[in-house]
Structure 1
Amino acid sequence: MNDLVLTNARIVLDDTVIHGSLFARNGVIRMIDEGPTPSPGAIDCEGDYIIPGLIEVHTDNLEKHLMPRAGVLWPSLPAVLTHDAQIAAAGITTVFDALSVGDLEEESVRIETLRSTYDAILEGQASGALRADHWIHLRCELAYPRLLEALEPLMHHRSVRLVSLMDHTPGQRQYRDLQQYRKYYSKNHMSWTEEEFADVVKRRTEQQANYSARHERVVLAMARQHNVVLASHDDTDTEQVRHAQRIGVTISEFPTTQEAADAAYAHGLSTVMGAPNIVRGGSHSGNVSALELARNDRLDMLSSDYVPASLLHGAFLLHTQAGWSMPRAMATVSRNPARALGFEDRGQLKPGMRADVVRMRAVGGLPIVRHVWVAGQRSF
């Protein structure tokens, strides 16, 4: 039998923190006891926190390993394995790798690497080479002309559990400020004259008019057929949230305004914000502050987005800066995403749940991951 016993720990439960011990056998939590419980082979946690394994709903971190330097493509499986190691070290035990299906920019690495990356994730799963439990989040760029032919072959695998509806057309949502759009793409060494930029905006807007509505209808039909969870992305106003709710969306990813976050709350959508927004003290794009949404009770989940280590850090800052209790703060990266994505076997520390467990210590206000177990097996 495979036993895991953690003792002398501050264990973060659903509604309280106790000092005690956690017992797991064969990958499942069997018992949590308050007080010291000596046991042969127990790991003395020295008063560290024990929290549920983190659940990441949307990470783009893999892209950095697929192209570690501009113009350099890395083999997909080694990139996935390196990404996976970072994920585990961040305390993430369940991860949704966000793969972009389409892009509005020509010669995009996202388009070029989509299929090989998808296959590499599945290969890593099948071989047992991955430390974390990997699932797939397909980000559908609705204005991409070839979206449907790229998406259809990917929808059939059971690992596809989340689909988000994207529209990065300049002039709306994340890029309603056209200068933010221009600034963002200038980082990719794109420079336009005023005339060229006006032409880019015109062409992108025409693409949206030609494809987005039709593609949305087909993607929704696929999602219903395969019973996957739907998310909207970069909602900006009440009408966009209302539309999302009408078509079956249950998660609002990264609303850009207080208005959109209020509308998501009113319409029963779970709101995800970027943990880097909290760690950095605000949005890098000038959007609404995640910490302000937390203080206004408009935040349900966090995503590490492009920095895996930000997920635990952001949740801990909800505790220290927004005044949330530890159980409530940690629920944004464990119990709440588990529920939003239909998992009933993880996200909480209680008997019967998977032994996805993180040992964490706060040092100078910074949460440090000491050890990680996935289904009772040490992964970090």
Structure 2
Amino acid sequence: MLGWLARRPGDILSINDHTTANRSLEAGSSKVKRMAARMGISPEETKRMIDDVWARRDEVPGATAQICAGATACGAPILSHDQCSAGDWAEGNRLGITVSEFPMTEDAAAAARAASEPVILGAPNALRGLSHNGALCATAAIGAGLCDVLASDYYYPAPLHAALRLWQTGVLPLADAWALVSTNPARAAKLHDRGKIAPGKRADLLVLDPESREVRAVFVNGRKVLDRV
């Protein structure tokens, strides 16, 4: 992982733990079957891999600290994931984490914001108006000033529609809502050449129909890659 970060400037590192939850799943569960299909192996082999990783869990803190130190040396942004408390945030801060991704509670998000750390929440959460798993509501967090970035979180049309919903429902002015999916994500990822329309920046642009809000054209680095009449 440290080799990847050293060779590929612009990458980010996200620290996740899904093993703790997945270790209790059986090979016949739908989630393990989906994981197996993605990897091209059997559910039984997937279950054995999860068990093998769990058996080595004592190695994780040291490995995580080493990886975070290397990422910090490379200048790569480091994201937390699913922090549940201010204590979780403090532990991540000690490791050098610089961005709070999907904090589960208001306390965790508030701790990050108090330290001027960007907070990422899911655009589907903001579009829906609530979390699908009972975690922090993105719309409420945005209203309270506890969210800087909206991520697609697997539903890729969500950022566009979430930004428009936040504007149309009066949660934020359009410019502030759009910053959640443009300027702020670029800043959090340390991609300083994009994220807003300004001289010297990449011309990554969406052209929306003013009535339907549908995407009519897309420009990537100044080159039109989509044109809908």
TM-score range normalised by the length of the shorter chain: 0.7 to 0.9
Equivalents in 2 of 1:182, 1:266: separation in Å? 37
Structure 1 residues 331-346: aligned runs within 5 Å: 331-346=179-194
The correspondence for 1:188, drawn from 7, 10, 31, is: 31
* Equivalences, count: 211
Residue in structure 2 matched with residue 112 of structure 1 by the alignment: none
User: What amino acid maps onto 1:376 in structure 2?
Assistant: G
- Cα offset, 1:223, TM superposition: 0.6
Equivalents in 2 of 1:247, 1:302: separation in Å? 24
Residue in structure 1 matched with residue 119 of structure 2 by the alignment: 271
Structure 1 residues 2-41: aligned runs within 5 Å: none
- Cα offset, 1:362, TM superposition: 5.4
User: What amino acid maps onto 2:218 in structure 1?
Assistant: V
- Across the aligned residues of Structure 1 and Structure 2, the Cα RMSD in angstroms comes to 2.8
The correspondence for 1:375, drawn from 218, 221, 224, is: 221
The correspondence for 1:326, drawn from 174, 187, 192, is: 174
Greater strand share, 1 or 2? 1
**Aligned to 2:100, what secondary structure does the other structure show?**
strand
Residue in structure 2 matched with residue 220 of structure 1 by the alignment: 68
**Identity in percent:** 31
User: What amino acid maps onto 1:187 in structure 2?
Assistant: S
- Cα offset, 1:351, TM superposition: 2.6
Native 8 Å contact 2:25 2:32 kept in 1: no
Greater helix share, 1 or 2? 2
Residue in structure 2 matched with residue 246 of structure 1 by the alignment: 94
- Cα offset, 1:279, TM superposition: 2.1
Native 8 Å contact 1:357 1:372 kept in 2: yes
Equivalents in 2 of 1:207, 1:250: separation in Å? 29
Equivalents in 1 of 2:53, 2:117: separation in Å? 28
Summarize deviations over 1:301-335 as a string: whole Å, max 9, x none.
01002011111111112212352011100001111
Summarize deviations over 1:59-113 as a string: whole Å, max 9, x none.
xxxxxxxxxxxxxxxxxxxxxxxxxxxxxxxxxxxxxxxxxxxxxxxxxxxxxxx
Equivalents in 2 of 1:158, 1:278: separation in Å? 32
**Structure 1 runs not aligned, ≥5 long:** 1-150, 191-199
With structure 1 as the length reference, what TM-score do the two structures score?
Answer: 0.50
Equivalents in 2 of 1:221, 1:245: separation in Å? 12
Native 8 Å contact 2:5 2:11 kept in 1: no
- Cα offset, 1:160, TM superposition: 4.7
Q: Which structure's CA Rg is the greater one?
A: 1
- Cα offset, 1:189, TM superposition: 5.6
- Change in 2 beyond 3 A, CA 1:362/1:242: farther
With structure 2 as the length reference, what TM-score do the two structures score?
Answer: 0.80
The higher-RCO structure (CA 8 Å, 6+ apart) is 1
- Change in 2 beyond 3 A, CA 1:155/1:205: closer
Residue in structure 1 matched with residue 37 of structure 2 by the alignment: none
Structure 1 residues 359-374: aligned runs within 5 Å: 359-361=207-209, 363=211, 367-374=213-220
Residue in structure 2 matched with residue 310 of structure 1 by the alignment: 158
- Cα offset, 1:283, TM superposition: 1.9
**Structure 2 runs not aligned, ≥5 long:** 34-47
